[in-house]
Amino acid sequence: MQENRHDIRVQVSTRYIDEQSRPDAGRYVFAYTITITNDGDVAAQLISRHWIITDANGKIQEVNGDGVVGEQPHLNPGEQFRYSSGAVLETPVGSMQGLYRMEAEDGLYFDAPIAPFTLAVPGLLN
């Protein structure tokens, strides 16, 4: 069995924020909650994030920055960090994907990918 020293799992849940959205003005607001789990054998700290947000018109927003929600969480093996944030799109459907840049306790930097996920107004997609 292969040793898996650096293994960060990212899970996402999303919801549409109807009360903050203005479809008539091309403003669709979504919230997302991210759970980051250290499934590896080495403690690691989230250093930075890189998001690619794409709406249904193909408009791309890229977001880069230190940490998440003002924090750079340190995760020991088995630990989780959960946070919520949001995105505003000009269309009722879009997607997000990206990566977290991690620094492991053993000095190695690695990327934890965030698989593409969909942002959609409920009932729009089957």
Range of the domain at 115: 8-119
Structural domain includes residue 45: yes
CATH number of the domain to which 21 belongs: 2.60.40.1470
| Phi, psi dihedrals of residue 33, rounded to the nearest 5° | -115, 130
Structural domain includes residue 3: no
Q: Could you read off the pLDDT of 62-107 as tens digits, one per residue?
A: 999 999 999 999 999 999 999 999 999 999 999 999 999 999 999 9
Count CB neighbours of 100 within 10 A. Answer: 23
Structural domain includes residue 59: yes
Q: Does the predicted TM-score (pTM) go above 0.85?
A: yes
Structural domain includes residue 110: yes
| Phi, psi dihedrals of residue 55, rounded to the nearest 5° | -95, 180
Number of domains in the chain: 1
Structural domain includes residue 124: no
